Structure 1
């Protein structure tokens, strides 16, 4: 079988959609080496270069020009002899030749419809148009959570039978054991405190970091934040400065370094207002670090029964849960051990099998 991917995010996104694309191709090429995996884009980058070195993964340079991703990439995949085209980020090409090819699209979330205030009018219109078009032309749609599946049925009027829920995994670094030397050097490099809670993700309003720092007021508990800053950071930083909260903001952290930071944290906190899935939650569970997350959207799907859940709009609730775990090492360990058992459902081999079963189903 020959499977073509829209690899724009694979090569050019550093976080969410890029990680999803790279992990998907990595696990499929590992567990199903008999197939050929084609990465279609105008150009490639250093990202994912280790995956591209595999004999069954090949870069296919697509036609140049404006809108070529929409109008030429599908035909390029057909020309390359692909049996399946998989759009990894909610989009499919608009033009195809008559040569038969099956189409799959992964839709990650419809947050722009649930929280329109976080998106410009133009972005909302473009996203909705693209997602509707892709959902109509796809033979099968992958939703990355039950929450996203429900949203697709509700907002995009997609038939339930057309949507398959296949969860995401996470980068292999979170499942590996790092050396003591590397752990020590990472701690020194980022000047990490002896004990801290951790937050990972873009510093934007939806991720709700302001309510975390409000919860930390007068606790003396340090927080380490790993993520790209947006203008919302100024609001968070102002509160931190005014209330003398011990906070460390890190950027340019490699996956291996991030895996170490998760392991060093006492607790991971992720009270996002809404997510399509919540990869940082499973990164933390694989790292055997207990999770505090929101009781909304898909986050209980990712966190399982032994994570601790909060009302993300309520700093008092967040504070109570943080202090409960901070002061109770036995409870942290108990929940972390149970969370580690739960998170095995997001293991690479399991997800690779589900993806391949779907590919084989639509081909047959």
Structure 2
């Protein structure tokens, strides 16, 4: 099939069609769409999952095109290996290496591979791409490093700002993953809102199908999960605000434990101190390095999902919880209302009593839980992969078409 696609491309390239302009008519033959694949090829969580899921959805829904993933290196892991086994997804490693390859030398490879479009999946695109015939898109997930600079090292913050600001100025199109992120781009970078398209994210399809009871039992035994638990998923860092949830747990019905899944940072020491101070160590279970295949099952067995983060660009864990038919409590103040919808519950990220009250209220009311599950599942369909993928391909098509007008 891949050989057949390459023949079709060769035929199209030999036609009289002007290959310097790739409009909607260009979609009648296979395109070569390229991506910054550093995270897709190396990260097993977060932006790695997002990147692979996005590209896989495109490759499945629009198999007539080729998807070229550029990365300076590749990590061998089951998730990543299976990703690159897809017939129309290709890994592209440097022909000329160097630490600046993703920023500079990649342009030579893109030109040699005759790609029509480059999508920077996380805040950056190659320098000077605006001087080529290759159309460019950059996805901005958040500008938290500007909104909450205290959570970042000075050098890191300045580097993130420089790369993302430059990419927003140079890219032909910006994709923001939420209306809140779009507003931040306009505010901090003074970008014309018309240049920014909001395309929400989905989550892995594994969260969208109920696991069989036998699998759930195996997962429960493997990780020694309690009968009734509240779930929190995310890096254990100050911005995610796990401390508030720990404090609220003190006055939550004692038959419920808290399961926390996430990578530990220096902030974890604060959490440990809080647990000792409140005498809650035996009510909290920390899990890390969970195989991705088991994660949906852990969601599906939870009684409640709580996400009290001070600030997010979107909040994929909320989407995962809603697809898993778990009621959600999240924090006000960023974009989490966009992800959770009108039937999730929101509290201030500084209101301990408010959080514990809402947790107890939901856990004590089976009818409310049922309603939150049903309406949450209905709401989250707006983030379903086919719909989001179509919006993305439409964005590509419109951008390529604009070259002809």
1:35-68 CA distance string (max 9 Å, x none): 1000111222234322211211111112311211
Q: 1: CA distance between counterparts of 2:251 and 2:399?
A: 57
Query: Residues 169-180 of structure 1 correspond to what in structure 2 (within 5 A)?
Result: 169-180=202-213
From 163, 181, 185, the counterpart of 2:214? 181
The answer to whether the aligner puts 1:239 opposite 2:271 as a matched pair is no
The two structures have a TM-score, normalised by structure 1, of 0.98
| SS, match of residue 297 in structure 1 | coil
Partners of 2:197 and 2:63 lie apart in 1 by 24
> Aligned pair 1:155/2:192, yes or no?
no
Structure 1 residue 216 corresponds to structure 2 residue 253: no
Matches within 5 A, 1:95-114: 95-96=128-129, 99-114=132-147
Q: Unaligned 5+ residue runs, structure 1?
A: none
Q: Quote how far apart the aligned CAs of 1:244 are.
A: 2.5
Alignment of 1:14 with 2:14, yes or no, is no
TM-score normalised to the size of structure 2?
Answer: 0.88
CA RMSD of aligned residues (A): 1.2
Count of residues paired in the alignment = 364
User: Are the aligned partners of 2:230 and 2:259 in contact in 1 as well (CA < 8 Å)?
Assistant: yes
1:225 is aligned, of 260, 269, 279, to 260
After superposition, give the CA deviation of every residue in 1:140-179 in whole Å (9 maximum; x if it has no partner): 0000000000000000111111100000110111012322
In 2, Cα distance between equivalents of 1:257 and 1:191? 13
**CA offsets, 1:88-133, max 9 Å, x none?**
0000111449651100000000000010000111111111110111
**In 2, are the aligned partners of 1:75 and 1:95 still within 8 Å (CA)?**
no
The residue matched to 1:293 in structure 2 has which SS? strand
Shift in Å, 1:218 = 3.8
* Structure 2: distance between partners of 1:136 and 1:97: 10
Compare 43-52 and 163-172 and name the one that shifted more: 43-52
Which structure's relative contact order is higher, taking Cα pairs within 8 Å and 6+ residues apart?
Answer: 2
Equivalent in the alignment of 2:92: 60
Bigger shift: residues 52-61 or 157-166:
52-61
Distance 2:287 2:139 in 1: 30
Q: Judge which range, 273-282 or 234-243, deviates more.
A: 234-243
Is this contact kept in 1: 2:262–2:287, CA < 8 A?
Answer: yes
Q: Map of 1:54-133 to 2, 5 A cutoff?
A: 54-62=86-94, 63-96=96-129, 99-133=132-166
- Give the secondary-structure state (helix, strand or coil) at the position aligned to 1:72: helix
What is the match of residue 271 of structure 1? 308
Tell me, in whole angstroms, the C-alpha distance in 1 between the residues paired with 2:214 and 2:284: 25
SS of 1:48's equivalent in the other structure is: helix
| Contact 2:251–2:356, Cα closer than 8 Å, also in 1 | no
**Which has more radius of gyration?**
2
5+ residue gaps, structure 2, are: 1-30
Q: Deviations over 1:256-312 (max 9, x none)?
A: 211011111100000100000000000000000000001221100000000011111
Question: Of residues 56, 60, 68 in structure 2, which corresponds to 1:38?
Answer: 68
